[in-house]
Amino acid sequence: MKQVLIQNGQAVVEDVPPPQPESGTIVVRVLNSCISPGTEGSGMKESAEPLWKRALKNPGKVKQALHMLATSGFSHTRSVVQGKLQSGYATGYSAAGRVMVVGAGIDDIKEGDIVACAGAQCAHHAEIIRVPRNLAVQVPDGLDASHASTVALGAIAMQGVRRAKPSLGENFVVIGLGVIGQLTAQFLKTNGCRVIGADLDPERSRIAMELGMDIELKPDDGPGVENVMRLTGGLGADGVIITASTSSHEVLSTAFQMCRRKGRVVLVGVVGMTMNREDIYAKELDFFISTSYGPGRYDNNYEEKGHDYPPSYVRWTENRNMWEYLRLLADGRINIEPLISATHVIDDAPTAYAAIADGEHRPMITLLSYPENSNAATGGRLLNPSASPSQKSVLNLALAGAGGFAHGMHLPNLSRMKNLYCLHAVMSRTGHNAKATAKQFGAKYATTDYREIVSDADVDAVLICTRHDSHAKMTLDALRAGKHVIVEKPLALDRDEMSAVEEFYNNAGGESGAPVLLTGFNRRFSKFSRRIAEIIAGRKNPIIINYRMNAGYIPLDSWLHNEQGGGRNIGEACHIYDLFTFFTNAKAVAVDARSITAEPGYYSNRDNFIATVSFDDGSIATLTYTALGSKDFPKETMEIYCDGKILSMCDYKKLTVYGTNLSGIESSAFDKGHREELEEFARAVKGGGAWPIPLWQQLQAMEIAFRVEEMLTR
């Protein structure tokens, strides 16, 4: 399918794989999408700036990059940055089209319905989009899809007016008469207000007057504050809504000065935020921020998971704002037609974006149109013409999930293992990321459909790097298709999923002759872990292991804590349970865990716990896992007590050994065994020998995690 992407300050139209249906979403064939000149123009301009200049504007991103550089090295960081720069980014957040597929859990929308969609994460300028239920509304009968495609802009303006709480007869000033300002003025008029508008562009003021605005504040008529006072009989405006976009701090000050005592100012646009206390204190003004389309915006539970807010408590959500805007359009109460400057076909999108980059003659609304009889399908592969030919002597590997970890760790490592691997295919939820990754790392094709790589006879093995809740199912699908599998930890999120994997191997007669399965417990492959195993080999007594993971805080709204991630015990601590199994090479016979309750609502009880595992050889291993610590302290430390020796490992950079002449090792960079893990997997597959991790040990690490989880949540 065709999609508009922004790359280095330019809009380009590229063929990318289409999105796949998911539970709680609909797949829509787009008829029209609406270009937002302000938001998208700013994004395009910023993407053209040199990387150093963009970094200065985003110090938080710089800190992340420096931390990545310090912890993961230059190669990892460069790969992640290059991947983001080369792929560009999807643009667009307002569209309308016909429903192609309805995902599970949706019963109020059906195939063939015309819907309007919003959201920068989904309502892109593309032939096919996948949209969560709460970001789509059915289009009223008789309303053209071209008008309905402005739904996000209408909802933004409507939410700004709702924040202002206008009432009949009030005087309101709208500063900035771009498309949001134009719609704001019309909404205020429908509320029975007297509307005064201000814009530096006389053409915009003229259009607003034709659409019902009462008074135009002309720059030549003198100071705007004095004019507003005169027009309101010295009282001042009851409210001011700022829809302008400027870095100036004067706009905010002017808005405050225009208000009467106890008036209110609502900021919808983007302006300088320096405030003068004297502007607001004496008149006891109210200042409100309006967030996009309304309540629900940026709430993952609402937007992505479909959890609605009850109307009795939240009358106007973003979805209900979207619907009400469309209803007003259909009833003729809001007139959008004069604001539409041009309509371009999707192939002509670069021309449309060139026009919005023109500061002097920027159009109000530009629409993109898409052929309804397009041959864009919901599946298939997008071939990479620059891919290198595969060789029979290496493993043809397909990557499922091309996120930051795959970009920063696995893909650079695979690129340095041409003697072992050929990256055959890349699958990602988003088509443009799949395509860019395939191009960057030389894969034969890109896809968004996991079935494509599972059914591909040329694929020998699959590397699964998706979110945790999909690991077990994707693993089984690949195994049943005869593919070898490396799956990032955890292997499964519950016993039912793990049992299904175990049953597959029981039915296959065990490890011999069945596809190789390797859960990504990479730490055991690190040179530090291997050195420890050498030193304690042949031990005469049980060992004691104390492992401390200073894991750091992750906000509770992160996917790692929810049903997609399974929590940090199952999602991360399983690494350490595997290490315990590796060092003891023994069966776990008892598990005990205790957690603390620290600031509920901020910390999870699965963030701060101590787990103790006893093994049938008499060994005892303890994990202290905490989010309470400082980032200045090492993340992972371990001590092992064995036959008069103490082995102390610090952050996979240094191993010190006490009580023996055997030496430890040291490294200038973190070494957690990711490269060695891939080497061992290839060896096992090609050589047909022992698995890198025996199946019983992979299952035991997960079983320990499940037992700990039961104790932490009971």
User: Going along 75-214, which residue ranges are E strands?
Assistant: 89-90, 94-102, 114-118, 128-132, 136-138, 171-175, 194-198
What does the pLDDT read at residue 601?
84
- State how far the Cα of 362 lies from the Cα of 169, in Å rounded to an integer: 34
What does the pLDDT read at residue 25?
98
Structural domain contains residue 383: no
Phi, psi of 460 (to 5 degrees): -85, -40
pLDDT average, residue stretch 195-216 = 95
Structural domain contains residue 681: no
Structural domain contains residue 158: no
**Domain that residue 444 falls in:** 392-519
pLDDT average, residue stretch 509-524 = 94
∠ CA 82-84-85 to the nearest 5 degrees? 65
pLDDT average, residue stretch 618-644 = 97
Q: Give residue-wise pLDDT tens across range 375-423.
A: 666 678 999 998 977 777 899 999 999 999 999 999 999 999 999 999 9
Whether residue 178 is found in the same domain as residue 248: yes
Whether residue 480 is found in the same domain as residue 346: no
Structural domain contains residue 376: no
Our count of domains for the chain comes to 4
Q: Give residue-wise pLDDT tens across range 128-177.
A: 999 999 999 999 999 999 999 999 999 999 999 999 999 999 999 999 99
Q: What is the CATH number of the domain that holds 170?
A: 3.40.50.720
Q: Give residue-wise pLDDT tens across range 679-698.
A: 999 999 998 889 999 999 99
What does the pLDDT read at residue 512?
87
What is the maximum alpha-carbon separation in the chain?
96
What does the pLDDT read at residue 182?
98
- State how far the Cα of 85 lies from the Cα of 348, in Å rounded to an integer: 23
Structural domain contains residue 385: no
Q: Any idea which of 101-105, 468-472, 600-604, 683-687 has the lowest mean pLDDT?
A: 600-604
Single out the residue in 519, 553, 588 at which a domain terminates: 519
Q: Give residue-wise pLDDT tens across range 517-565.
A: 999 999 999 999 999 999 999 999 999 999 999 999 999 989 999 999 9
Q: What is the DSSP letter of 681?
A: H
- Evaluate if residue 285 carries a pLDDT over 70: yes
Structural domain contains residue 382: no
Whether residue 347 is found in the same domain as residue 444: no
- State how far the Cα of 48 lies from the Cα of 117, in Å rounded to an integer: 28
C-alpha dihedral, 592 to 598 to 600 to 606, nearest 10°: -30
Whether residue 365 is found in the same domain as residue 302: yes
Q: Any idea which of 213-222, 335-344, 651-660 has the lowest mean pLDDT?
A: 213-222
- State how far the Cα of 329 lies from the Cα of 656, in Å rounded to an integer: 72
- State how far the Cα of 583 lies from the Cα of 534, in Å rounded to an integer: 10
Return the exposure string of 87-103: e unless at least 16 CB atoms fall within 10 Å of the residue's CB, then b: bbebbbbbbbbbbbbbb
Q: Give residue-wise pLDDT tens across range 463-491.
A: 999 999 999 999 999 999 999 999 999 99
Q: Any idea which of 72-86, 321-335, 363-377, 447-461 has the lowest mean pLDDT?
A: 72-86
**Mean model confidence pLDDT for the chain:** 93
∠ CA 555-557-562 to the nearest 5 degrees? 115
Tell how far CA 548 is from the center of its chain.
Answer: 30
- Evaluate if residue 77 carries a pLDDT over 70: no
Q: Any idea which of 370-384, 481-495, 569-583, 635-649 has the lowest mean pLDDT?
A: 370-384
Whether residue 399 is found in the same domain as residue 433: yes
Whether residue 549 is found in the same domain as residue 637: yes
Nearest to 276 by CA among 299, 257, 262, 291: 257
Structural domain contains residue 419: yes
Nearest to 472 by CA among 495, 455, 450, 449: 495
* Range among 43-52, 70-79, 190-199 with highest mean pLDDT value: 190-199
Whether residue 589 is found in the same domain as residue 705: yes
* Range among 49-53, 597-601, 682-686 with highest mean pLDDT value: 682-686
Whether residue 542 is found in the same domain as residue 498: no
Report the half-sphere exposure of 27 (CA within 13 A, side-chain side).
19
- Evaluate if residue 67 carries a pLDDT over 60: no
Q: What is the CATH number of the domain that holds 352?
A: 3.90.180.10
Single out the residue in 289, 306, 339 at which a domain terminates: 289
Single out the residue in 499, 519, 539 at which a domain terminates: 519
First CA to last CA distance, the chain: 49
Report the half-sphere exposure of 648 (CA within 13 A, side-chain side).
6
Share of the chain above pLDDT 70, in %: 93
Whether residue 539 is found in the same domain as residue 652: yes
Whether residue 327 is found in the same domain as residue 224: no
Q: Any idea which of 37-51, 149-163, 202-216 has the lowest mean pLDDT?
A: 37-51
Contact in structure between 356 and 362 (CB atoms under 8 Å) = yes
Structural domain contains residue 377: no
Q: Give residue-wise pLDDT tens across range 212-257.
A: 999 999 887 767 899 999 999 999 999 999 999 999 999 999 999 9
Whether residue 202 is found in the same domain as residue 176: yes
What does the pLDDT read at residue 597?
86
Whether residue 109 is found in the same domain as residue 170: no
- State how far the Cα of 246 lies from the Cα of 170, in Å rounded to an integer: 27
Q: How confident is the model at residue 23 (pLDDT cuts 50, 70, 90)?
A: very high
What does the pLDDT read at residue 501?
98
Q: What is the CATH number of the domain that holds 543?
A: 3.30.360.10
Return the exposure string of 519-557: e unless at least 16 CB atoms fall within 10 Å of the residue's CB, then b: bbbbbbbbebbebbeebbeebeebbebebbbbbeebeee
pLDDT average, residue stretch 55-73 = 59
* Cβ neighbours of residue 536 closer than 8 Å, sequence gap 6 or more: 543, 583, 640, 642, 643, 645, 647
